Amino acid sequence: MSDKIGVVIDTGSQNSKVGFAGESSPRCVFPTAVARFRQQGILDALPEVYFGKEAIKRRGISTLTWPIQNGMICDWDEMEKLWHHIFYTEMHVAPENAGAVIAIHPLTGKSDKERIAEVLFETFLLQDLYLALSPALVLHASGRTSGVVWENGASCSYSISVFEGFPLRHSTVNSVINGNMLREHLQRLFTKVGYSFSTPLELDILDKIKKEVCYVARDYDIECAQSNSSGENKTSYALPDGQTILIRDERYQCPELLFKPHLYGYNCPNIVDNIRLTISRSELDYKTLFYNNIVLSGGSSMFKGISGRLLLELMKRGSDSVEMKPNVEALNFRDIAPWVGGSILANLSSYQNFWMTRQDYESDGVDRVNYKFF
Ligand SMILES: Nc1ncnc2c1ncn2[C@@H]1O[C@H](COP(=O)(O)OP(=O)(O)OP(=O)(O)O)[C@@H](O)[C@H]1O
Ligand SMILES: [Mg+2]
């Protein structure tokens, strides 16, 4: 693969991160959205399909599709169009001269892996392919080969342990508390204080509020008490129409859902339970290694204060031995960690034999993908 252009693609359910192997950040990050005009034929001169930000701009007059949901491709026709857009429009690369690292969810099934390989080799005539499990890439990005990855994007939320570069699938613990749910939770918190956010544009504003003003309280009870006595945590937020709203407890109550879901009526395990359950599914000998190397990833792991609080909560819960001291790594580029890991991996000489080449595909058939990338 070393003599070809390497493209790294992480298509999330909300954001696609795309760029060249060996670079430190993606060339482009755009919504994983495809738009088609609702009424065909009236606008002959215009393209039939739009992608990314252009698709979002036209959502009022189009049918918008998000071809990835919960880490899996759910609309293959639109996904094919999106890959075309990525290679030719975003990257200006002809796939017949390129190799591609594609980040995939750790629970991606055999048939989906085969279909990805089939489309990329048959339709796009790609030269080399590397289907990389996202948590393994996150660890690469953090300079590790073993650890526990807690990934939380827009629709995926899971923890998984990775040993010597191989994600241990049986240790995966999925959670329902993902970025979309945190947004819904914020929406409800605002409804209670009289602010309504419901249109697609308003939901985008909620995503911005999550990003810009929300934070994880170090101690929830103390934060509530301080908020009642001093009101220091309130901030005013300017909406795009010029109005200003006052945001108070919602700032820390939004991400508190990750730590105390029961407070808000959700009967589900919290982030600490999930990480501990993942670690409990590994051999006793490796538990210390995993506790020492907990790595956060995904846009919804970007809340300020999350790593400190997580560490405190893990310590409070204790572990089986003193060596199992938790350590939480919150890379400052963790919102794009799978992409960064893919960029590193694509250039590693020790990984060159792990690629699936066009020749492998032609001589051994698509089934080879399951042996190369198990
Ligand atoms: N600074 C931030 N603080 C809190 N949440 C954030 C921040 N930045 C992004 N998010 C949230 O992260 C989510 C998007 O993250 P990401 O780009 O990792 O998802 P994705 O890869 O598209 O989705 P998935 O991996 O679930 O398929 C959105 O819910 C967004 O609101
Ligand atoms: Mg993602």
157: Cβ–Cβ under 8 A, 6 or more apart, which residues?
Answer: 151, 174, 175, 176, 177, 178, 179, 298, 300
Instruction: Say if 5-32+67-138+335-372 and 147-175+269-330 have the same CATH topology.
Output: yes
Residues 308-347 have pLDDT tens digits of 999 999 999 876 666 678 999 999 999 999 999 999 999 8
Q: Would you report the helix, strand and coil content of the chain in percent, each value rounded to 5?
A: 45, 25, 35
Q: What's the CATH number of domain 179-264, 3.40.190.10, 3.20.20.70, 1.10.15.40, 3.90.640.10?
A: 3.90.640.10
The pLDDT of residue 282 is 87
Burial letters for 267-292: b for 16+ Cβ neighbours within 10 Å, e otherwise?
A: eebbbbbbbbebbebbeeeebbbbbb
d(CA 132, CA 174): 19
108, 151, 300: residue to mutate for ligand 1 pocket, most atoms within 8 A of CB? 300
The atom number, within ligand 1, closest to the CA of 304 reads: 3
d(CA 20, CA 16): 14
The residue whose C-alpha atom lies closest to atom 29 belonging to ligand 1 is 179
The residue whose C-alpha atom lies closest to atom 31 belonging to ligand 1 is 207
Residues 194-206 have pLDDT tens digits of 999 999 999 999 9
CA of 301 from ligand 2 middle (Å) equals: 11
Residues 138-170 have pLDDT tens digits of 999 999 999 999 999 999 999 999 999 999 999
Task: Check: CB of residue 113 under 8 Å from CB of residue 131.
Answer: yes
Pocket of ligand 1 (CB under 6 A): 12-15, 68, 71, 153-156, 179, 207, 210-211, 298-300, 302-303, 335
**CATH fold for domain 5-32+67-138+335-372:** Nucleotidyltransferase; domain 5 (3.30.420)
Q: At residue 172, what is the residue type? A: T
Residues 246-295 have pLDDT tens digits of 999 999 999 999 999 999 999 999 999 999 999 999 887 889 999 999 99
8, 211, 214, 215: residue to mutate for ligand 1 pocket, most atoms within 8 A of CB? 211
CA of 318 from ligand 1 middle (Å) equals: 30
CA of 272 from ligand 1 middle (Å) equals: 20
Please state, as a whole number, how many other Cβ atoms lie within 10 Å of the Cβ of residue 115. 16
The pLDDT of residue 45 is 72
> Which residues, listed in sequence order, are joined to residue 104 by a DSSP beta bridge?
133
Architecture field, domain 147-175+269-330 = 2-Layer Sandwich (3.30)
Q: Of all residues in the chain, what percent carry a pLDDT higher than 90?
A: 85
Q: What is the mean pLDDT of residues 109-120?
A: 97
Residues 14-44 have pLDDT tens digits of 999 999 999 999 999 999 999 998 877 666 6
Please state, as a whole number, how many other Cβ atoms lie within 10 Å of the Cβ of residue 252. 23
- Domain residue spans of the chain: 5-32+67-138+335-372, 147-175+269-330, 179-264
SS3 category, 259: helix
> Which residues, listed in sequence order, are joined to residue 128 by a DSSP beta bridge?
99, 357
